[in-house]
Amino acid sequence: MQSFAAAITATGPTFAWVAVGMLLRRLGWLPDAWIQTLSRLMFQFGLPFVLFLGATRVDYSGVLQARYLMAGALATLLVVLLAEVYGRYRGFAAAERGIFVQAAYRSNLGVIGISLCTSAYGEAGLALAALPVALLTVFYNIIAVLVLSAAFGKSSSPLAVIGGILRNPLIIGISLGVLVAVTRWQLPGFIQEYGGEVSAVILPLSLICIGASLDIKLLRRASALTVEAVSWRLLLAPLLSVVLAIQLGISGMELGVLFLLLSSPVAVASFVMVMAAGGSGPMAANIVVITTLVSSVTVTLGFALLQGMGLAA
């Protein structure tokens, strides 16, 4: 019970802000135009600033030996390969399999994952999560292009993929933070003084945008494939990732941060990429909605279990 209470304290604020967004949308207090504008501001400027601050606080002297970074990358590749094999075994059509595989591995790192790490471990959690977010964001985009191109018969040039990654605001924010930390450049006084307070506002606003963007009506059209994709994203993928990380000797805060990042719900970006590839938008959106709602339970229980076992203290 003590571990469960601690887990609720860590994950509760994140999902509470998502619920606030859903409520505001339901009451009509957040019009669609506001949601779109606010979401764009958070993605283009707010979240990159939060990740920038986190990246400036990391000691990069031993980053090449950081096993938790390698574990995150290996876990992602493992989930992709196993999900592809499972999709073929189940006889999913190529288009459906592409949506399924992307849902299985692609967690919401930049908003919900970062928020969970910050709630659970404070600024230390944010700093520890910055590099995995950068590395996995690159991985996620490359893999999504490959998976969806194969599924829908569309190809993207390597230069287009690289260009999209380099223009990603989250990658830019983290890269600038790394540059500041490595060069030991002193940030302006007002950023040092008020940066933490600004971050404390940006994360809740981003979560409210996520909640306000969810369309609960889509739940009525949930298919068997959707349920299986949700199970992979919230149950099998986190389990495989944690087992792999433990085998690599990872524990404590590093394991906790890795779990919170890799057990987060499906990223909204997955829906955008499916639509761009010509896939089923409703199915992809359905998976985002269901995983976001259900993850409030699965992430809390999983984190409580890790803490109860003394693995993520």
Tell me the per-residue pLDDT of 276-292, one tens digit each, with 9 for 90 and over.
Answer: 677 767 788 888 889 99
Average pLDDT, the chain: 85
CA pair distance 180, 56, nearest whole angstrom = 6
The verdict on residue 295 lying in a domain is yes
The verdict on residue 312 lying in a domain is no
CA quadruple 164, 169, 171, 172: dihedral sign: positive
- Token pair recorded at residue 45: 């400027």
The answer, yes or no, to whether residue 199 has pLDDT greater than 90, is no
The verdict on residue 311 lying in a domain is no
Q: Could you tell me the pTM of the whole model?
A: 0.86
CA angle 287, 104, 70 (to 5 degrees): 140
Return the DSSP state at 30: S
Query: Residue 100 maps to which CATH number?
Result: 1.20.1530.20
What is the reported pLDDT for 63? 65
DSSP 174-230: HHHHHHHHHHTPPPPHHHHHHHHHHHHHHHHHHHHHHHHH--GGGGGG--HHHHHHH
Domain count, the chain: 1
Return the DSSP state at 107: B
The answer, yes or no, to whether residue 233 has pLDDT greater than 90, is yes
The verdict on residue 309 lying in a domain is no
Q: State residue 266 phi and psi, 5-degree precision.
A: -65, 135
Average pLDDT for 156-184: 80
The verdict on residue 50 lying in a domain is yes
The answer, yes or no, to whether residue 218 has pLDDT greater than 80, is no
The verdict on residue 8 lying in a domain is yes
CA pair distance 44, 133, nearest whole angstrom = 16
What is the reported pLDDT for 65? 60
Per-range mean pLDDT, top range of 54-63, 153-162, 248-257: 248-257
The verdict on residue 10 lying in a domain is yes
Other CB atoms within a 10 A radius of the CB of residue 63 amount to 12
Q: State residue 107 phi and psi, 5-degree precision.
A: -90, 160
Higher pLDDT, 155 or 59: 59
What is the reported pLDDT for 25? 87
The answer, yes or no, to whether residue 155 has pLDDT greater than 80, is no
Residue numbers of the domain that contains 84 = 2-304
pLDDT in tens, 18-71: 999 989 988 988 888 888 888 888 888 888 888 888 888 777 776 656 789 899
Higher pLDDT, 160 or 10: 10
- Token pair recorded at residue 205: 């606003």
Q: What percent of the chain has pLDDT over 90?
A: 34
The verdict on residue 310 lying in a domain is no
Q: Give the chain's count of helices (H) and strands (E).
A: 14, 0
- Note whether 135 and 97 are within 8 A (CB): no
